[in-house]
Structure 1
């Protein structure tokens, strides 16, 4: 067989590049649906309080359990995607999300909401989230990993931004049960057909991956856990989630408590959350040029300013402070994610990246569970979210210190 011409190679590279962007766009859409479903709980929380008379801590329980389950199931999901491929994971995730949403529309007790949201829907969302797509995307865009992962992760902020006002409108028009049924129909219409755009075994990634990736050393989970960088990443995920979820789950409840109209508050916070898309993409892309650490530190600083703006709000007249909080906090919602995830791929590349990332992500689930439940508990005890917001700032500072310590690459230790 004659060797391929330069023109043929260029054509193959062009097709592979287009296919890579198609896969990235499909992953973005699937992740957006899962993120929208999960983040909409911030709006449903107030509906549960009004309908069932639950306390804030009780209403936050399903969300906290969801974060724990999300973290605890991450190693399993990471291992599954390494073995089953992306298509089957998206099919499974879509089916579980639809099942959980339809079941939630019929829920009449706290344990049912906890099980359906905290277990069924959380596991489903994990199957259409970062753990499934990052190994594929990191191979497709080996030389632009920070940019590609940031585009993917911006779906989290986009889903969060769209879910708040959309859910509020649906709840006011159809009730919270009807809103869940609409969400189930949308998830089924998007996720199930979308899964067939992915190759069953991720072969598209192998075909389009950069040749240089083959020369990179492959890490196993056993080697990774014996490095300090693995545990520093674990702490980064945990502290970052604590800082974020001490605020995010109760943002709308906080705004309503100080006197803002619920729909107005959902709109402002939702508009602020839309800034997460450019914020995540900018910081992720920036991390390819100035380094993952400095990009993450910048995002931590902006988030802290956003929390301070919330702490300064005293009443419904503080519209500017609410907008500043929404913009600064929304701009950096998930903005550290691409830097953290790309750093994980930088430090521990190889076919076991999904498994390694899954184990490290336990820290994220643990931190999110602590933060979301603790904020509700603090409010029930003190009648205010101020202590929770102070805790958010402290957690962000701790996360930035741990991330900065990741400057040196790991060296595998002998078993």
Structure 2
């Protein structure tokens, strides 16, 4: 391991290397987010070409979301064991293989393989535990802000990819859109390999904001990744606060990725709105998601994370309750207001949730957050499938939106019930 030179700490260096690492992590998260924007825009053309039902396509997305979450805690342990850049470069390659390979699909089971398994494993190996790992290892000061910025990387990816993916899918074909997503993931790999490092000591510096006389580096990781991930779950599962955070975050996933992320465009299409128009509205969610998430990171550094979570979930629930009356054939001010508000709230829950995991579980915090994030994606997977079934049974999404609103109330209650630690837990 490289010897740390205190003279290169951020108090003396003009630009601390942590910011370069954070910038590349942002780009990697942005590239991986290409597929997060795709299913909603591709479901209609896939239905038109193959005749696959909404339930079948929702199942593939559910598999993706499930693996996206369940892979996360193991990926966090793998990053501890083998290094960040090795795991992230492999993950981006899997995303590219899944998106690029999908252009040869001829049967619905292949959708499960490409969209579900390959892309699910790839995106899950990065996900938000990657952002938490960067923030926790490379920063002592500004952790909440950095976590907010990195979380916004996915929103930025949605903003960048969703409109062209929708246009390509409608004008050129869904295969061209899939290839664009694959190319973006591959282009990020060299940048990740040459810039990312696992620890500040690999660059011969302390974490940003660390005090040289008092800072002690974390102990070297030993043991297998699977063992560490399962030990983290066993440790956390004995605490009620873990279950409160996990269930609330599962509801977060259900009401974002599972409902709006996957089914907003098809629902708007049911009301007569053009797919590209609905995709544009969802991209606006991405714009304000960036603002909301960064602001949430800043607020998390200053206020009680539990109270922030209560506000976010109540805010979201009101939006879902009103959504059935807001969708129409054309854009009007009320639906614009909805996407702005929902965008500000989209993943604003991430910085306070990650902060609570770090506070309650100390050095285990990143792996525990990985399990909390797994719950997020389990919720998203269930909601994505359930909403598709509701649409097929009732011919509309209204009951799905109202169900999501009710769940948000439960998440708000669970969030305020979390008991904060008097001092951060140490290992």
TM-score norm. by structure 1 comes to 0.90
CA contact (8 A) 1:149 1:342 kept: no
CA contact (8 A) 1:81 1:354 kept: no
Alignment match, 1:50: 48
Match 1:157 to one of 148, 152, 155: 155
Stretches of structure 1 that go unaligned for 5 or more consecutive residues are none
Deviations 1:29-72 (A, max 9, x none): 11111122233111111121111111111111111011111222
Deviations 1:213-236 (A, max 9, x none): 649999972433322122222112
Aligned-partner SS, 2:376: helix
Instruction: Go from structure 1 to structure 2 and tell me whether the alpha carbon gap of 1:144 and 1:111 turns closer, same or farther (over 3 Å shift).
Output: same
Distance (Å, rounded) in 1 between the aligned partners of 2:129 and 2:161: 22
What is the CA-CA distance between 1:92 and the residue it aligns to? Answer: 0.5
Instruction: Go from structure 1 to structure 2 and tell me whether the alpha carbon gap of 1:332 and 1:204 turns closer, same or farther (over 3 Å shift).
Output: farther
CA contact (8 A) 2:21 2:197 kept: no
Alignment match, 1:114: 112
- Alignment of structure 1 residues 334-349 onto 2, 5 Å: 334-349=347-362
Match 1:180 to one of 172, 178, 190: 178
Instruction: Go from structure 1 to structure 2 and tell me whether the alpha carbon gap of 1:136 and 1:54 turns closer, same or farther (over 3 Å shift).
Output: same
Alignment match, 2:262: 249
Instruction: Go from structure 1 to structure 2 and tell me whether the alpha carbon gap of 1:317 and 1:93 turns closer, same or farther (over 3 Å shift).
Output: closer
Alignment match, 1:324: 337
Deviates more, 1:75-84 or 1:201-210: 201-210
Alignment match, 1:80: 78
What is the CA-CA distance between 1:402 and the residue it aligns to? Answer: 1.2
Alignment match, 1:383: 395
Distance (Å, rounded) in 1 between the aligned partners of 2:71 and 2:248: 19
Distance (Å, rounded) in 2 between the aligned partners of 1:102 and 1:317: 34
Deviates more, 1:389-398 or 1:321-330: 321-330
Distance (Å, rounded) in 2 between the aligned partners of 1:11 and 1:150: 23
Distance (Å, rounded) in 2 between the aligned partners of 1:396 and 1:145: 27
Alignment match, 2:61: 63
Instruction: Go from structure 1 to structure 2 and tell me whether the alpha carbon gap of 1:314 and 1:63 turns closer, same or farther (over 3 Å shift).
Output: closer
Alignment match, 1:265: 278
Alignment match, 2:135: 137
CA contact (8 A) 2:362 2:424 kept: no
What is the CA-CA distance between 1:412 and the residue it aligns to? Answer: 11
CA contact (8 A) 1:46 1:253 kept: yes
Deviates more, 1:197-206 or 1:144-153: 197-206
Distance (Å, rounded) in 2 between the aligned partners of 1:43 and 1:123: 21
TM-score norm. by structure 2 comes to 0.88
What is the CA-CA distance between 1:314 and the residue it aligns to? Answer: 5.5
Alignment match, 1:296: 309
What is the CA-CA distance between 1:172 and the residue it aligns to? Answer: 2.6
2:272 is equivalent to residue 236 of structure 1? no
Name the Cα RMSD after superposition: 2.8
Deviations 1:60-115 (A, max 9, x none): 11110111112222232121111011110111012111111111111111111111
Instruction: Go from structure 1 to structure 2 and tell me whether the alpha carbon gap of 1:100 and 1:10 turns closer, same or farther (over 3 Å shift).
Output: closer
Alignment match, 1:312: 325
Aligned-partner SS, 1:246: helix
Stretches of structure 2 that go unaligned for 5 or more consecutive residues are 222-227
Deviations 1:208-255 (A, max 9, x none): 322466499999724333221222221122121122222331111111
CA contact (8 A) 1:170 1:176 kept: yes
What is the CA-CA distance between 1:313 and the residue it aligns to? Answer: 2.4
Alignment match, 1:104: 102
Alignment match, 1:358: 370
Alignment match, 2:386: 374
Instruction: Go from structure 1 to structure 2 and tell me whether the alpha carbon gap of 1:262 and 1:78 turns closer, same or farther (over 3 Å shift).
Output: same
CA contact (8 A) 2:390 2:399 kept: yes
Distance (Å, rounded) in 2 between the aligned partners of 1:144 and 1:412: 17
What is the CA-CA distance between 1:191 and the residue it aligns to? Answer: 2.7
CA contact (8 A) 2:313 2:408 kept: yes
What is the CA-CA distance between 1:285 and the residue it aligns to? Answer: 1.0
